[in-house]
A and B are shown apart, each in its own frame.
Chain A
Amino acid sequence: MKSLKYLVPVVVFVVLAGFLFVGLFLNPREVPSQLIGKPAPSFELEELRQPAERFATADMLGKPAVLNVWATWCAGCRQEHPFLMQLARSGAVPLYGMNYRDERPKALDWLRRLGDPYVNVGYDPDGMASLDWGVYGSPETFLMDPQGTVVYKHLGPLGPEVWQTEFLPRIATMQGVAQ
């Protein structure tokens, strides 16, 4: 009994150290999305590039679709842009955009200089549509199934690794179900 007592601090230390060690690799900025498994919130926004036209949630239905929330002031968006261009060229899924708390001339200039990967872009200068999607830090990228259910959300720049491990398997499942 007496010898076991000396183990108590050791056990407490090991357990605490274990929790802290795991904590080192968690991203505290990542707030779990409330939308997963729920219908995509509806919006109807001006199209960024054609102000006379509207772009609505309903326009993304029918196929697996990706909605990317971006802004010209966002460094991560700049970082992921080449990958988005690559994704658009591959034609794997339609890529839609939501321009978040931005200014139209700057956004158009960005697309002119860096390339335009989007089928449609909603223009959301006051961030009210994005707020319904629970957006709190750009870039954020949502994956929706053909019925418009949000299946996955990625926070931060999108890259090949995340695309391979998180998006592609889910898209494959959707296409398997559809066939």
Chain B
Amino acid sequence: MRQLAIVLLAAMLAFGAGSLQADSILAMNPEETFETEEQLRRYEKMINDLRCVVCQNQSVAESNVDLARDLRRITRDMILAGRTDAEIKQFMTDRYGDFVLYNPPLKPITYLLWGAPVILLLLGAVVMVSVVGRRSGESGDDAEGMGENT
């Protein structure tokens, strides 16, 4: 029972640190007219990947503040103008920094952020192995007790 709890805890630590992907909530905007499905798909992905810096727990897609509305419009205009996703992200980070990206790039300052799930998983594994190892090494009041019950 305790082993199970430890395994579960390790798994929770490892996966809980990752972000939960919010459902795509398409902000209604009659201006959103794209020439191709591809452009619409890129638009929706982009605005869901951008954080609204005013209301920080919402994406640019979800927020109704003026700034988010303008960033949606700029994203749309840039896509229609043939700019790449990288160029759009660059435009956003030039103004608001990596903070605006829900998916921050891997660079020295974010190594810990990206590495944390792996570190926690390894930590959990170390704890698990040491506990299991010690228990199986024990000559076994526990093991005998459990054996008699089954």
Contacts and interface: CB of A to CB of B under 8 A. Distances in A.
Chain B binding surface, main DSSP class:
helix
A131 B99 CA distance: 15
Contacts of A31: 53, 96-97, 99
B70 to A, nearest CB: 6
A156 interface: no
Given A29-B56, A31-B53, A137-B54, A127 B95 contact: no
A134 B70 contact: no
A43 B93 CA distance: 19
Which of the four size classes fits the interface of chain A?
A: 10 to 19
**Majority secondary structure of chain A interface residues (helix, strand, loop or mixed):** loop
Contacts of B96: 31, 34, 134, 136
Nearest to A137: B54
A28 interface: yes
A33 B95 CA distance: 8
Interface in A79-126: 101, 126
Given A31-B53, A137-B54, A132 B67 contact: no
B53 A101 contact: no
B56 A28 contact: yes
A127 to B, nearest CB: 6
Contacts of B97: 31-34, 134
Contacts of A131: 67, 70, 74, 95
Contacts of A134: 95-97
Contacts of A133: 95
Interface string B57-83: 000000000110010001000000000
A127 B97 CA distance: 18
Most chain A CB inside 10 Å of its own CB: which residue of B56, B95, B96, B97: B95
Contacts of B95: 34, 131-134
Interface of B: 53-54, 56, 66-67, 70, 74, 93-97, 99
Given A127-B70, A137-B54, 16 more contacts: A31-B53, A31-B96, A31-B97, A31-B99, A32-B97, A32-B99, A33-B97, A34-B95, A34-B96, A101-B66, A127-B66, A128-B70, A131-B70, A131-B74, A132-B95, A136-B54
